[in-house]
Amino acid sequence: MIAPQMLRGLWSYRGFVLGSVKREFQAKYSNAILGALWSLLSPLAMIVVYTVIFAEVMHSKLPGVSSQFAYSIYLCAGILTWGLFAEIVTRGQNMFIEQANLIKKVSFPRICLPLIAVASALVNFGIIFGLFIVFLVASHNFPGWVFFALLPVLAVQVLLALGIGMVAGVLNVFFRDVGQFMTIAMQFWFWLTPIVYPASILPEGVRPLLAWNPMAAVIQSYQAILVEGRMPAWHTLLPAAVLALLLCVFGLRLFRKRAGEMVDEL
């Protein structure tokens, strides 16, 4: 999927990748008095709001789950992980345009840009999700050893987002409408995925359509692990994994084929 020369290029420029991720994180909070503390306070506030509003005020419950915080955990499991997916896709679709000056002036493997986008998104997600884990432990809702089943689900999600982001990123250089379309599409995609509502409330005739939504299987896998403390239905995740690999292969080939023309379009 990745040519040996690409791998050698990524390894040779690993310092550039890590340095870029570090600079992005520092720049995000450079002019803030509290600095990097905002990276903790913002997600902490979100978790507290969801917990207080839905668990204590609205007393929202999930069918078949007795935990007081079940719906709060359900929301966080979906919204936090969707946030990672959306950030990678958004960063991916704009990465070549946003780094046009760097691409024109500095010689480096352009394939580093998708890696920087993914690494930056994972750093942000790691901070937010780390706080969520603390909440799960403190509220006695940590799922136990099944928690490690999140790793393959996360891998599928990142590959899917990376594949979509790379394809959209290359196309966006030549057709700027792609970025606008993706922004609208992501909004619809969010609400067509069972994140703020359980799939069980959908009409029976509509539920089978979720099989055509790769993120539905990903989000439901997270929810199964974090809310119910059980292994996800791996067979439902297989189509998303296959699609993710196909998109990554297609994205790399498209990038390699159009890399020279992209510089002229930026």
Place of tokens 């909070």: 29
What is residue 219's predicted lDDT score, i.e. its pLDDT?
A: 96
User: Would you say residue 234 has pLDDT above 90?
Assistant: yes
91 contacts 165 by C-beta, under 8 angstroms: yes
Q: Where are the alpha helices (DSSP H) in the chain?
A: 4-12, 14-28, 38-50, 70-98, 100-105, 112-138, 150-174, 177-191, 214-228, 234-265
Q: Lowest-pLDDT range, 109-113, 144-148, 214-218?
A: 109-113
- pLDDT per residue over 121-141, tens digit each? 999 899 889 988 988 998 899
Q: Lowest-pLDDT range, 96-105, 184-193, 246-255?
A: 96-105
What is residue 40's predicted lDDT score, i.e. its pLDDT?
A: 65
* Confidence grade of residue 168 (pLDDT, cut at 50, 70, 90): very high
* Confidence grade of residue 31 (pLDDT, cut at 50, 70, 90): low
28 Cβ contact partners less than 8 Å away, ≥ 6 residues apart: 39
